[in-house]
Copies of this chain bind each other. A is one copy, B any other.
Amino acid sequence: MTSHGSTRNSTGTNLDPWYHHYADRAAGLSTSEVRALFAVASRPEVVSLAGGMPFVSALPSELIRSSFDRVMTDSGPQALQYGSGQGTPALREQILEIMALEGIHGSVDDVVVTTGSQQGLDLVTKLFINPGDVVLAEAPSYVGAIGVFRSYQAEISHVALDDSGLVPEALRERIAELNAAGKSIKLLYTIPNFHNPAGVTLSRERRLEILEICRDNGILVLEDNPYGLLYFDGPPPQAMRSVEEDGVVYLGSFSKTLAPGFRIGWVLAPHAIKEKLILANESAILSPSSFSQFVVSEYLRTADWKAQIETFRGVYRERRDAMLTALGEHLPELSWTNPNGGFYVWVTLPEELDSKAMLPRAVKELVAYTPGTAFFADGSGQRFIRLSFCYPTSDTIRLGIRRLATVINGELELVNAFSPSGQIATVRQNQNFSAPPPNMS
């Protein structure tokens, strides 16, 4: 072997000797714009309205400490050991209680605990998607879901959304088009409550209509509901899973109602599917973390977790209010969604602006957001930005929106100043502006 020489410390080359070795699906793995932003947003002087980190400091750490202490006293060896691939029975029972708050009744047998609900997304996609199969998703949709669907070579087809959520008529039309094209539509992925990134909530009437459309067309609904209990002005309509059992795979999570650091989410699956889901979970990770599950379970058993969720609601409600007020004050010419829960406001820019091209300028002004392009599989969405009010304080949010207004107004002045000379088009081209040129009249 030594005659071949060691390749140790051979840094400095970007050549990948395994370049031709990757699976076809590896081409779907690319750096998300949100990910790149995490690095930017971590600089302390930047006001980040970009990330989706919950404000875990609103959770008294004493609640976690005392849960942990009891776990180690009562069940240390079990908490440190491998567990079942489905998750602990105690935690699955508690998850049923939580889902009952949104009208869901299911069996403890059909709950599968996962490494965050992201892993639930991954497993369901792995189970159902052949290369080229279609996943329907709202326009816009959760960036992390788009990434998972891509990684299994799904074709992602966006369906229009408005202030009442996914538009049933648009869904019908899209399904008809795809059927006419001979496509295999496997899943409708939807976030009915306090949508990420759009902030809107699907109305009850539409939930029923969409379930019917999907049933009629043999499409499995993947209902992703991490924010449902974090409402501000009143609860959202009951979950789609509450009225349809066999046609809905439901994804839940403790990341927003407790803390993401545990990486504990779950899938409530149609009974026929759950066995395959457990096998897929075991194949991927053997079993979810016993350590995390025991601590979360003990917390749910002994802490007033409903009061804690009420605390989170209060924190996020105040921040949502701060953001909407600041937007009205500093950017009255723009339009935005009015979320009744969750983490996000979706802002529509004047059509002359490009949110992706504007981002470096915003970061220079010490404010970060997520450009709308992150939430469309086809790279559109330049006119939108996602603002998150979950992590920064209300004062910081106000500062961030003021800075954002400076950036946007500066860009608009630039557009107006250069518009007659036609130079803007050149600038846009240099920035790889991929949408049709804006109306310059």
Contact = CB atoms under 8 A, between A and B. Distances in A.
Nearest to A76: B61
Interface string A4-22: 1011111100111111011
B4 A215 contact: yes
A181 to B, nearest CB: 19
A167 interface: no
A122 B283 contact: yes
Contact of A263 (B22, B151, B288): B288
B130 A24 contact: yes
A23 B116 contact: no
B126 A81 contact: no
B279 A29 contact: yes
Nearest to A27: B276
Nearest to A125: B23
Contacts of A283: 29, 122, 144, 147-148, 151
A177 B4 CA distance: 26
Contacts of A314: none
Interface residues of A, number: 104
Contact of A80 (B69, B76, B260): B260
Given A7-B244, A284-B284, A270 B18 contact: yes
A260 B80 CA distance: 6
A5 B186 CA distance: 23
A261 B82 contact: yes
Contact of A246 (B7, B118, B292): B7
A122 to B, nearest CB: 5
A208 interface: yes
A336 interface: no
A31 B280 CA distance: 10
A6 B82 CA distance: 38
A272 B18 contact: yes
Interface string A76-87: 111111111100
Interface in A263-304: 263, 270-273, 276, 279-280, 282-292, 294-295
Interface stretch (A52-60, A158-166, A366-374): A52-60
A10 to B, nearest CB: 7
Contacts of A259: 80-81, 291
A306 interface: no
Contact of A25 (B30, B115, B126): B126
B115 A11 contact: no
B53 A80 contact: no
A29 B151 contact: no
A230 interface: no
A263 to B, nearest CB: 4
Interface string A121-149: 01000111110010000000000100110
B261 A23 contact: no
Nearest to A288: B263
Interface in A185-205: 186
A35 interface: yes
Contact of A56 (B1, B17, B81, B287): B81
Contacts of A126: 23, 25-26, 151
A263 B289 contact: yes
Interface of A: 1-2, 4, 6-11, 14-19, 21-26, 29-32, 35, 38, 53-54, 56-57, 59, 61, 64-65, 68-69, 72, 76-85, 105, 107, 115-116, 118-119, 122, 126-130, 133, 144, 147-148, 151-152, 186, 208, 211-212, 215, 218, 220, 243-247, 255, 259-263, 270-273, 276, 279-280, 282-292, 294-295
Chain A to chain B: the 8 pairs with minimum beta-carbon distance, closest first: A16-B272, A80-B259, A1-B208, A261-B290, A80-B261, A29-B279, A263-B289, A261-B291
14 contacts: A7-B246, A10-B246, A11-B271, A17-B247, A26-B127, A29-B283, A65-B69, A80-B261, A115-B263, A147-B283, A263-B292, A284-B284, A289-B289, A289-B292
